[in-house]
Structure 1
Amino acid sequence: MDSLVQALHHAFIDQQTVGSHYDPKLIINQPEKKEFLLTTLQEELENCTSFTFSVAFVTESGLNTLKTFLSDLHLKGISGRLLTSTYLDFNQPDVFEALMRIPNLEVRMSDKKAFHAKGYLFEHEDHQSFIIGSSNLTINALKTNYEWNIKLTSYDQGEIIRQMQDHLDQQWATAKPLTQDWIDAYRKNYKPATYQQITQLQDPMSDYIKPNKMQIPALDSLQELRDAGENKGLVIAATGTGKTYLAAFDVRQFNPKKMLFVVHREQILHSAMASFKKIFAKEPDSNFGFYTGNNKDIQARFLFATQQTLNRDQHLHQFDPSEFDYIIIDEVHRAGSPSYQKILDYFTPEFLLGLTATPERTDGFNIYDLFDYNIAYEIRLQDALGEDLLAPFHYFGVTDYEKDGEIIDDTSDLRQLVVDERVDFLIERLNYYGLAHKKVKGLIFCSRRAEAATLSEKFNERGFHTVALSGADSQDVRNAAVERLRNGQLDYIFTVDIFNEGIDIPEINQVVMLRQTQSSIIFIQQMGRGLRKYKDKEFVNIIDFIGNYNNNYLIPVALTGDTSRSKDKLRRNTQDTNFISGLSSINFEQIAKERIFQSINTAKMDAVSVLKEAYFQLKARLNRMPMLVDFQVSQAFDPLLIASKNKNYPQFLARIREIDITWSKTADAILNFLTSEVLPGKRAHEFILAKHLLDHDIQTMSFDDIRVLFASHQLPNDDETMMSVLRILSTDYYVASAKKQFEPGKLIDITVSGLVLSDGFKAAKNNTAFKTHLNDLLVTAKLLSESYNHQQALTIYQKYSRREALRFLQWQDQMVDLNIGGYVLDKERKVFTIFVTIDKGDDFTGALVAYEDALLDNSTMHWFSKAGRSLNSPEIQIMQHAEEWAIHMFVKKSDDDGSDFYYLGQVKPDPTTISEVVKDIGDGKSKTVVQMNLDFDQAIDYKLYKYLK
Structure 2
Amino acid sequence: MSSPEEEFLPPGLYERLVDRLLEKRVGELESAGLKVDRVSVGSAELPFLLSRYLEKRLLSGLRELSGESPDNLRIAFANQILSLLAALSPGESPPELFSPASMIVSVPPVFSGGPAVLEPPLTGLSESTLLTGAPDDPSLLSELDKEIRSADRIDILMSFIKWSGLRILRPALMEATSRGTVPVRVLTTTYLGATEIACLDFLSALPGTEVRISFDEHRTRLHAKAWLFERKSGFSTAYVGSSNISNPALTSGLEWNLKVTMEDQPGVLEKIRGTFETYWNEASTFVPYSSEKKADVQKILSRSRSRDDFSDTIPFDIRPYPFQEEVLDRLEAEREVHGSFRNLVVSATGTGKTVIAAFDFRRFREQKPDATFLFVAHRQEILEQSLKQFRHILEDRNFGELWVAGSRPVHGQHVFASIQSLDRAAVGRISPEQFDYVVIDEIHHGMAPTYRRLLETLKPRILLGLTATPERSDGLDVRRYFNDRMAADIRLGEAIDRNLLCPFHYFGVTDSVDYRNLRWERGQYDRRDLEHVLTGNDLRNRSVLRALREYCPDLSEVRGIGFCVGVRHAQEMSDLFNRAGIPSASLSADSSREVRDAVSAKISSGEWKFIFVVDLYNEGIDIPVVDTVLFLRPTESLTIFLQQLGRGLRQRRGKTHLTVLDFVGHMHEKFDCASRLSALSGQPSYRIRKEVEEGFPHLPAGCVIQLERVARDHVLENIRKSLSLRRGSWVEKVREMAGDLKRPPRLREFFQAFRPPLPALYRKGGQVFRGWKRFLVEAGVIPDFSDPDESILTRGIGRMVHLSAGRYPDLLRGMAGGEPVGELEARFPPRQFLMAHYALWGETPEKTGLGKVSETVQKLRKNPVLCDELQELLELARDLALFPVFKTARTEDIPLDVHGTYTRDEILAAAGLFGFDRRVEVREGVRFVPEAKLDLLFVTLDKSEKEYSPSTMYEDYALSDRLFHWQSQSTTNERSSTGQRYIHHQKTGHRIFLFLRKKKKTADRPFAVSEPYVFAGPVFYRSHQGSRPMTVIWELAFPLPAHLFRESARLGVRI
TM-score by length of 2: 0.40
TM-score by length of 1: 0.44
